[in-house]
Amino acid sequence: MDISPEAVSRAVVRFGHDFRGGALARHRDTLPPFDLVFLGDIVEHVPEPVAFLCDVRNVLAPDGIVCIDTPNWGSPWRRWGRRHWLGLNRFHVNLFDGDSLAGLLCSCGFGDLKMGSYTHYRYESWANRPEPQVVIQKMPSLLAWRINRFLARRSLRKPLAILRESPPTTLDEACRLLDEPPATPDPWDDVRHCGDNLIAMARRT
């Protein structure tokens, strides 16, 4: 489901599944019950999140699960970067920290809540963060280049970034990577919610 008619048309042509255009409220009475609803970068765009999540609950089967991925207002990066934080833009009308998202889900009839956070690998390096770049880009170009080079070299390169730079070239190599124990921290273990994005999973009660 997407509010963009163009996105829906392209998805139908490319994948051939049942895609719907418009808001969830428009389709909720014609949809079958779902075991899982995933809201990836959605809830921050919704003017009335309570009504929206109540609609989500209504299209879930008994014990159905909602999964949410949304910018984390409680992130230390947001407090440090303020208006330069990467989670801020004019299309984000409601932003949540861990407590407010948990309260929202509970008020809409969800329980068994599990939460965590993560930062996209693209922004793990300080050289790629918009917050320090506001200051760095005001410096002379050669000095800015040297500082960014230093930051890029000193930043911890995590497995997802390395994997994107050097993807597996054979199926056997890809299968071997899948069989290896995860080398990155589990985002669900981040109980302090320090990442740029919040993730939440809750069950319809």
Do 50 and 38 meet the contact criterion of CB atoms below 8 Å apart? Answer: no
Take residue 109 and report the two structure tokens written for it: 């009839």
In the prediction, which pLDDT does 152 show?
Answer: 79
Q: What is the pLDDT of residues 125-148, one digit of tens each?
A: 778 888 888 888 899 999 988 988
In the prediction, which pLDDT does 184 show?
Answer: 63
Range 76-90 average pLDDT: 89
In the prediction, which pLDDT does 17 show?
Answer: 87
In the prediction, which pLDDT does 36 show?
Answer: 97
Q: For the chain, what is the mean pLDDT?
A: 88
What is the helix (H) or strand (E) element at residue 71, kind and residue range? Answer: strand 60-71
In the prediction, which pLDDT does 156 show?
Answer: 66
Domain 32-204 is in which class? alpha beta
In the chain, where are the structural domains located? 32-204
In the prediction, which pLDDT does 71 show?
Answer: 96
Question: pTM of this prediction?
Answer: 0.78
Q: Is 80 exceeded by the pLDDT of residue 150? A: yes
Share of the chain above pLDDT 70, in %: 93
Least confident of 10-19, 37-46, 184-193, 194-203: 184-193
Range 156-178 average pLDDT: 75
Least confident of 3-17, 94-108, 150-164: 150-164
Please spell the DSSP secondary structure of 128-171, one letter per residue. G-HHHHHHHTTS-HHHHHHHHHHHHHHS---HHHHHHHS--SSH
In the prediction, which pLDDT does 81 show?
Answer: 86
In the prediction, which pLDDT does 107 show?
Answer: 96
Do 14 and 8 meet the contact criterion of CB atoms below 8 Å apart? Answer: no
Q: Is 70 exceeded by the pLDDT of residue 157? A: no
Range 93-101 average pLDDT: 96
